[in-house]
Amino acid sequence: MAIHNNEIRDILEKVADLLEIRGENPFRVRAYHEAARVVESMSEQIVRLVADNQDLTQYRGIGKDMAGKIREIVETGTLSQFEALRAEMPLTLLDMLQVPSLGPRKISLIYNKLGVTTLEELKDAAVQGKIAQLSGFGEKSQQNILDSLDRIEEAEESRMLWSDAEPFARALEKYIRKVEGVRQVRVAGSFRRGRETVGDLDILATCLRGYEEKLMTAFVVFEDIKQVLAHGRTKSSIVLRCGLQVDLRIVPQVSFGAALHYFTGSKAHNIAVRKLGTDLGYKINEYGVYQEEKRIAGKTEKSVYESVGLVYIEPELRENLGEIETAEDNRLPVLVKRSDIRGDLHAHTRRSDGHGSLEEMARAAKALGYEYLAITEHSQKVAMAGGLSEKQVRVHMENIDRVNAKLKGFCLLKAMEVDILADGSLDLADSVLRELDMAVCSVHYQQRLPMKKQTERIIRAMDNPNFDILGHPTARLINTRDPMEIDLEKIIEAAKERNVVVELNAQPDRLDLPHAYCKTAADLGVKIALSTDAHSMDNLGLIRNGIIAARRGWLTRDDIINTRPLSELRKLLRRG
Ligand SMILES: [Zn+2]
Ligand SMILES: [Zn+2]
């Protein structure tokens, strides 16, 4: 199996680190680090250079001795010196290099004196106070190590935003599809289900018989690779530079549907489907649906569902949150699509904290096929983001009128994103709020009130008849800020009573209303505004993310007000 430059670099890097931990001559250590750096920066594949019998010493930083070692790696897949070092001390010692305050010399001391070989053992030793007792360490450096270990754990747990993973998923799909012999390619996993965050990417492919090796060889040299974790005949794993792990599996054509179902998950959904199979005397796994030894379904996902008496279930719904029972009764909702959307109800221009002008935003929205766009600048309290005073709101409305006079077949709505103040009043006088086409009202400050107080604050604000839409209801920022402590169910009920619309904010780190509550709202008949909260023209395109979130929330076209033509939309709003 051909070895990739990145794997060669990894071996050289590890040898350097291991030699350093062992206390070797710094010049020797540096030679390996330097060679690793050269290999990393090379645009040619070393495998090819070696096959062409090229002289590797032509690269500055690779001496004659090192060239021989690199050849050895290419020819044998490893380096005898590396194997010897690995036999002498555990490779897990290298994990400790992630702790910024630990260099090779300190790691060697911890290893030799305490027998610590892994990050876990390091934590135990620090918790027990053993590190502080080593010479050259103290209480302070021990605490330092513990803090670093916490951060390392946190980083390992944090998942990438769906929208950050998407470009990699699409690029990989495209790349794999172009490999000779490939037939089908799909990204499965939580990415396909549209989860807000993605842990890793699971890609499935089918190819013509005999082309498996070609596909895997192409996969492990994808341009953005940091590390190749495994390179096999039907399964390979890589880590991209961004830290995302990607697994590629080649599955037989007849199993593609079963495999896609299996690897799309969720686990809870799969268990429920398998249980239905068991009740019928079938066995369901990633290769198909089996009755005794006979495969009775699995070529398509639809066939898997049909074998257990279900209609096809969209990936976004596969969380075992009622979709199985609903599919049994054939009552699954027809989920909203991008083409259903006729306008956007939350956008900023450069008048507050956005980037575009009114006209630019209007043109960009029109280009998306929209009929209307609500311009919702911030109100005065949000001074940091250029909030508007009452007087300025009147100018804002006049400016919109002026732009609207120039637009054909498109309308900018005179709106504001009104701050909900701590006491539940709104940040602008009723006299001016009344003149708007609509008001989106949101909490921006004092998000840490106790639950009862916070809930009351929002409901009190909703008592104002000029409150049309509740903006980003929980104020969460995924991976950064927890949602406010609120009784969201109670708030949704209050919205129902007052004919208030609840926003599903499509910003990739908001996706707020969270999906479980979208379903609660829809079940109660509370309407949703699917809005991008765009701060630039490009941002209007985030509606795609919003659509996925809406689908995860079981929302149909009927549940969302901005699927309606403008005249109908106006009637649906509270002030209409
Ligand atoms: Zn806001
Ligand atoms: Zn906003």
For position 110, which CATH number holds? 1.10.150.110
pLDDT tier, 471 (very low <50, low <70, confident <90, very high otherwise): very high
CA of residue 472 to ligand 1 center, whole Å: 7
| End-to-end Cα separation, the chain, in angstroms | 68
pLDDT surpassing 80 at residue 384: yes
In the reported structure, the alpha carbon of residue 413 is separated from the centroid of ligand 1 by a whole-number distance in angstroms of 17
Query: Look-up: residue for tokens 């969209």?
Result: 314
Q: Percentage of the chain surpassing pLDDT 70?
A: 99
Closest ligand (CA of 512) = 1
Containing structural domain, residue 285: 268-328
Confidence (pLDDT) at 158: 72
566 CA distance to ligand 2 middle (Å): 21
User: Which helix (H) or strand (E) is 270 found in, with range?
Assistant: helix 267-279
Which CATH number goes with the domain that contains 167? Answer: 3.30.460.10
Digit-coded pLDDT (tens) for 258-282: 999 999 999 999 999 999 999 999 9
Q: What is the pLDDT of residues 92-103, one digit of tens each?
A: 999 998 888 898
Q: Is 520 in the same domain as 554?
A: yes
Tell me the average pLDDT across 159-186: 96
Task: Compute the distance between CA of residue 519 and CA of residue 553 in angstroms, rounded to an integer.
Answer: 5
Are both 142 and 187 inside the same structural domain? Answer: no
| Average pLDDT for 370-380 | 98
Between the CA of 307 and the centroid of ligand 1 the distance, in Å, is 47
Q: In what order do the strands lie in the sheet with 282-285?
A: 282-285, 288-291, 294-297
- Indicate the range of 100-109, 159-168, 410-419 predicted with least confidence: 100-109
Residue 507 and residue 555 in one domain: yes
Ligand nearest to the CA of 539: 2
Same domain as 169, residue 295: no
Q: Average pLDDT for residues 392-407, to the nearest whole number?
A: 96
End-of-domain residue from the set 250, 277, 297 = 250
Query: Which has the higher per-residue pLDDT, 325 or 157?
Result: 325
The domain spanning residue 311 has which CATH number? 3.30.210.10
Q: How confident is the model at residue 143 (pLDDT cuts 50, 70, 90)?
A: very high
User: 541 and 494: one domain?
Assistant: yes
**305 and 343: one domain?**
no
> Which ligand ends up closest to the CA of 382?
1
Summarize the confidence of residues 494-499 as an average pLDDT: 98
pLDDT of residue 539 exceeding 60, the answer is yes
Assigned domain for 255 exists: no
pLDDT of residue 252: 94
Q: What is the pTM of this model?
A: 0.76
**Are the beta carbons of 344 and 354 closer than 8 angstroms?**
no
Domain boundary at 290, 306, 328, which? 328
CA distances from 398 to 115, 358, 401 (A): 74, 12, 5
155 has a pLDDT exceeding 70: no
- pLDDT value, residue 259: 97
In a shared domain, residues 179 and 137: no
Q: Burial letters for 295-334: b for 16+ Cβ neighbours within 10 Å, e otherwise?
A: eebbbebebbbebbebeebbbbbbbbbebbebbeeeebbe
Lowest mean pLDDT among 132-146, 169-183, 299-313: 132-146
Mean pLDDT of 326-340: 97
Rounded Cα distance, 309 and 494, in Å: 39
Rounded to the nearest whole angstrom, what is the distance from the C-alpha of residue 89 to the centroid of ligand 2? 55
Q: Which of 306, 328, 350 is the last residue of a domain?
A: 328
Look over the chain and give the mean of its residue pLDDT values, rounded to a whole number: 94
Residue 157, pLDDT > 90, answer no
Closest among 363, 441, 369 to 403, alpha carbons compared: 363
Query: Of residues 446 and 45, which shows the higher confidence score?
Result: 446
Question: Is the pLDDT confidence value at 435 over 60?
Answer: yes
Domain count, the chain: 4
Is residue 1's pLDDT more than 60? no
Find the 383 Cα to ligand 1 centroid distance in Å. Answer: 12
Percentage of residues of the chain with pLDDT beyond 90? 85
CA separation for the pair 517, 506 (Å, rounded): 15
Flag whether 333 is in a domain: no
Rounded distance from Cα 97 to ligand 1 centre (Å): 41
447 pLDDT tier (thresholds 50, 70, 90): very high
**Which residues hold their Cβ within 5 A of ligand 1, which is an ion?**
442
For the ranges 25-29, 93-97, 439-443, the maximum mean pLDDT occurs at: 439-443
Mean pLDDT of 98-126: 92
> In the predicted model, what is the mean pLDDT of residues 242-253?
93
CA separation (Å) from 414 to 278, 347, 506? 58, 11, 21
